[in-house]
Amino acid sequence: MPLADDALSGNDCAMILPTTVFATLMEPIAFWRNPQPMRPDGLRAAGAWRRWALLTAMQVGGLMGVVVPVMLAWRQIFDLPSPDAFNGMTPLALWGGTVLLAPVLEELFFRGWLSGLPRALWAMAITLAGLALFMGFGKANPLAGGGILLATTAAVIGVWFWLRHKQERPGWFDGAFPWLFHINALAFAALHLANYPKFTLAAIPLVLPQFWTGLMLGFLRLRIGLGAAILTHIISNAIALTLAMIVG
């Protein structure tokens, strides 16, 4: 009898594992249909690293296996240019900027506020105001630009500590969240149009990889946490850059 029980338990585990994997991979698809705010479990939660690994595999697999080939085919059909944002950069700068710096900064800017916490929303609002002032008054004036950046940084740090104990999301955020989530993913993709030398309507599908990535990283940020999204972003960029360098 013990042997039979052990065999049955092993069969049960063999059946449960694929089901669990499938359920995990279906989570983001269900979420995208009707995005709702959630409190991340964190990487210390039980099973969090396994869920992160599966979702990271989904991100990289979908990106390299489906989205990038579609984008490359579109570019070839319409004879569109390659991105030129990284021309002239040394390998060290390219790897440091693309694989390490960009994922951290982009996740903080695009996904940090998706928690809906007051400190994150205020920090984002101050950052946007600071960027607007910098573009309007500080871009051509180093002294004014430096002052704006310092003031913005100080204000963000101040409001973060001031509101650090407030954990309730504002009501308007919950109501608008489905729109905010998808607009955020679109904005993340649209920002990368600047990588191309000329904007045309035909060039919009060239940022499908960034749109897919924005959807996946947004879910990862909300399901597991910002650290998980940053790690996946780093891995995704490293793989994409390695393949790009191999194929030229």
Q: Which letter does DSSP use for residue 80 in this model?
A: P
Q: How many residues does the chain have?
A: 248
Instruction: State mean pLDDT over 107-134.
Output: 97
Instruction: Count Cβ atoms within 10 A of the Cβ of residue 12 and give its class: 0-12 exposed, 13-18 middle, 19 or more buried.
Output: exposed
Residues whose CB is less than 8 angstroms from the CB of residue 82 and which lie 6 or more positions away in sequence, other chains included: 75
Mean pLDDT of all residues belonging to the chain: 91
Number of Cα atoms under 13 Å in the Cβ half of residue 78: 15
| Domain assignments of the chain as residue spans, ordered by start | 36-116+169-247
95/236: higher pLDDT? 236
Q: What is the pLDDT of residue 5?
A: 41
Max Cα-Cα span within the chain: 82
77-95 burial, b if ≥16 CB within 10 A, otherwise e?
A: eeebeeeeeeeeeeeeeeb
Whether 15 shows a pLDDT value over 90: the answer reads no
Q: What is the pLDDT of residue 247?
A: 78
Whether 126 shows a pLDDT value over 50: the answer reads yes
Whether 6 shows a pLDDT value over 50: the answer reads no
pLDDT in tens, 95-114: 899 999 999 999 999 999 99
In percent, the amount of the chain with pLDDT more than 70 equals 93
Q: What is the pLDDT of residue 8?
A: 40
Helix, coil or strand: residue 147: helix
Instruction: State mean pLDDT over 74-91.
Output: 85
Q: What is the pLDDT of residue 4?
A: 41
Whether 40 shows a pLDDT value over 90: the answer reads yes
The reported pTM is: 0.90
Q: What is the pLDDT of residue 11?
A: 52
CA atoms of 24 and 219, how far apart (whole Å) = 12
Q: What is the pLDDT of residue 82?
A: 86
Locate all alpha helices (DSSP H) within 138-247, ordered by sequence: 142-162, 171-191, 208-223, 226-247
Q: What is the pLDDT of residue 78?
A: 94
Among candidates 246, 213, 211, 248, which has minimal Cα distance to 232?
Answer: 213
Whether 63 and 212 have beta carbons less than 8 Å apart is answered as: yes
Handedness of CA 17, 19, 20, 24 (dihedral sign): positive
